[in-house]
Chain A
């Protein structure tokens, strides 16, 4: 009897012993990511591809080039926008006249179906990006890549891009998410007369050559990636499998991380990150979001904010410190009026031009023609209420001291862009971030007379336009700095918007997750991550 029991318990032990390491090993090569919402497309060129779709595309597809990386003062890593590295291209050369670039492709690169990556695939993909319209076409244009005629197949493994003009953004723009290389032959099989670019099929299928392939995608629930073992452009990733689960409740995402059931997440409110960083159960890594800030915007087209002194009064009334500590728990960089964010050229030119000074604000109001103040509305996007709501209340309270009575208007997230496009809100909270880390790029979208949707104040000033355009093509560093100083100065004096703080990109992860690096697209690159 006792022998039977012993035998039984022994076999149970063996079973348990055998099962546990197998499971543990699977877990150590599998990354579980929890997100608030997942991708709506696997195709970065798709209509309305959302932000999580950047992550899908970035990992499923390769580009000709990618960015290098650098280590910051605090030991964290970020991509380096000054260094371009080979990915599908082995090498490249700019023509002596500076009007084209020729890429030599790797000969060993394969798509997920095993076919080689050729120059024809590159051309098809770039033609597609500049033709289909919407976001991809717009992003290519930012680098002066506008027409299919610019792209030329020299031979199977040589590809040339001709330039329309000398533009320092062209090369960096070829390493962002949009110029991904698609398997043209595979995609063409699924193209139809109505859909020559196979938009429908590529939306939910993978035609990439990236280090990860799509194992399964349940929209709104879960995306699973597995490693592509034939991937050659870099060292083989350590992770074998990545599971991205959509967990809509922020409280649960935090609980999952703290219990160890999830490995990594971006999507938590600043308060949670601040608490988690303090308790230290999981690692929290933070970077200031490049070329981005949150601001109080004013519409300069309509009274009362068409009056300069009113705008300046607001700039002196914004409670910078209060907003920074209460609304974002100090997780960011306080700008207090500086229109150039940290980590961007020219940030040091005007550190904190404004400080909260109610007496001065009152004096400006008295001179402005509105000595008794006025009533207006203060609008914000409810989709970001965790930060916007406390910020709005603080601004409202402070403006009341100088006679500006505001009614807070919360705009549902679905309608926010529509409201921005209309440009009728008098006073509002908003944020903007530019993908390419140049101050003139930021100013071009936000303060140029072309009046893009991001120029939320409808600010128009010919002198500002001239300086921004000059800076874009200026090659002399000293002159460039002067131009940056000049256009930043105009913004500070005219103050169509009051920059308040630069947000942080926080990510919380298990302590055994290594290799995280900040990317301009603010998504995860699974190739770099590993678990110890």
Chain B
């Protein structure tokens, strides 16, 4: 019950934020220097042709008028049509969101799988070789620009060694994609019991996920280390040790669970951050996600997809934060009591 109330309150709080996002994206888009009418009228357009296109796009009307019709469409779930792909924005986003989510989650899981143990190990043995190694790896991961890591990985593992498949998106041209259930290709292929395609999807996912993971590792490992260090030097751990509990019990049951609280908060931030960082990775690996979609639209000053993208991201963040709050409550009973 308390949980439901928390969810309800959280959702209610999100409404003004989302309204703000609608207004701001609308205005920001119009403030961009590009002129979509001139862009889409084609290279050979006369001034008159440009005006015709402008009228057809409804861009000759006043800003409040444009805003009203935008909100009206939005209420009907119509985000407009993209001029770059020629499709309704909703359709494009729905088709592309799973690709981005699959990549982002894979990257995050990979980063967690490496960074959490690394952070714990570094905290239990501060200033040892493993602590220094962790510092070097994480610093390198975060300081290399993400597109550079991506291109480097492609160069080494695809071009030179030939281990990785061609950076051609989620599957090679000759594999047949499984019928969509979750939208995550690897899962869908497993549901369809097609191990070959699942394996192909994993192979295609590997390099982009590693690229993202390398980037996300640093904050997770550093935060785990710092948090573990703090907890390990606290009174209750000292008491636990003094009471003769096994070192593994102390470390896992008492220290790790308590140290995870700030890390969970951070994971949420890292995830939202990765959704943004996706743009460059998607560009390098021809990954058909929403990041590259929004970027292309922005270059063409194609308003509708950009607005749709920002709105969707904002909604995603709201739900992400909600999920985090719930997880946080599970990890720390005090939060539940307060709610």
Contacts and interface: CB of A to CB of B under 8 A. Distances in A.
A219 B299 contact: no
B67 interface: no
29 contacts: A30-B173, A34-B168, A133-B49, A134-B42, A135-B42, A219-B82, A219-B85, A245-B168, A245-B169, A245-B173, A245-B286, A248-B292, A248-B296, A249-B151, A252-B151, A252-B285, A255-B154, A255-B158, A256-B167, A259-B166, A261-B172, A414-B32, A414-B35, A414-B301, A415-B301, A418-B39, A421-B35, A453-B45, A453-B47
Given A247-B168, A252-B286, A259 B162 contact: yes
A204 B86 contact: yes
Nearest to A451: B47
A258 interface: yes
Contacts of B38: 417-418, 421
Interface residues of B, number: 53
Given A135-B41, A453-B45, 14 more contacts: A23-B174, A40-B83, A40-B84, A48-B41, A48-B53, A133-B49, A219-B82, A219-B85, A219-B92, A222-B173, A245-B169, A414-B32, A421-B38, A421-B50
A32 B173 contact: yes
Interface in A202-247: 203-204, 218-222, 243, 245-247
Interface residues of A, number: 50
Nearest to A221: B288
Contact of B286 (A204, A248, A259, A415): A248
A139 interface: yes
B128 interface: no
A352 B81 CA distance: 48
B159 A259 contact: yes
- DSSP majority for the A interface? mixed
Given A138-B46, A256-B168, A248 B158 contact: no
Contacts of A50: 84
Interface in B156-201: 158-159, 162, 166-169, 172-174
Nearest to A133: B52
Contact of A413 (B86, B167, B292, B299): B299
A40 B283 CA distance: 18
Given A255-B154, A414-B33, A243 B159 contact: no
Given A48-B53, A259-B159, A220 B288 contact: yes
Contact of B40 (A48, A243, A259, A262): A48
Contact of A418 (B34, B151, B172): B34
A18 B53 CA distance: 56
- DSSP majority for the B interface? loop
B115 to A, nearest CB: 27
B86 A219 contact: yes
Nearest to A42: B86
A248 B43 CA distance: 22
B36 to A, nearest CB: 8
Interface of B: 32-36, 38-47, 49-50, 52-53, 56, 82-87, 92, 95-96, 151, 154-155, 158-159, 162, 166-169, 172-174, 283-286, 288, 292-293, 296, 299-301
A221 B169 contact: yes
A253 B40 CA distance: 26
Contact of B86 (A40, A135, A138, A452): A40
A243 B85 contact: no
A68 interface: no
Nearest to A37: B296
A186 interface: no
Contact of B284 (A26, A252, A261): A252
A415 B35 contact: yes
Nearest to B52: A133
Contacts of B52: 133-134
Given A48-B40, A220-B296, A453-B46, A417 B35 contact: yes
Nearest to B42: A135
A252 B285 CA distance: 8
Nearest to B286: A247
Contacts of B42: 48-49, 134-135
A453 B32 CA distance: 22
Contacts of B300: 413-414
A47 B40 contact: yes
A412 interface: yes
B288 A41 contact: no
Contacts of B155: 251, 255
Nearest to A241: B173
A445 to B, nearest CB: 8
Nearest to B162: A259
Contacts of A499: none
Given A412-B34, A414-B300, A259 B169 contact: no
A337 interface: no
Contacts of A261: 166, 168, 172
Contacts of A418: 33-35, 38-39
From A221, A415, A452, name the one whose CB has the most chain B CB atoms within 10 angstroms.
A221
Contacts of A259: 158-159, 162, 166
A48 B168 contact: no
B56 A220 contact: no
A412 B83 CA distance: 18
Nearest to A139: B44
A426 interface: no
A373 interface: no
Contact of A243 (B35, B46, B56, B173): B173
A46 interface: yes
B300 to A, nearest CB: 6
A246 B293 CA distance: 12
Contacts of B172: 261
A44 to B, nearest CB: 11
From A48, A50, A139, name the one whose CB has the most chain B CB atoms within 10 angstroms.
A48
B53 A134 contact: yes
B284 A249 contact: yes
Interface string A414-431: 110110010000000000
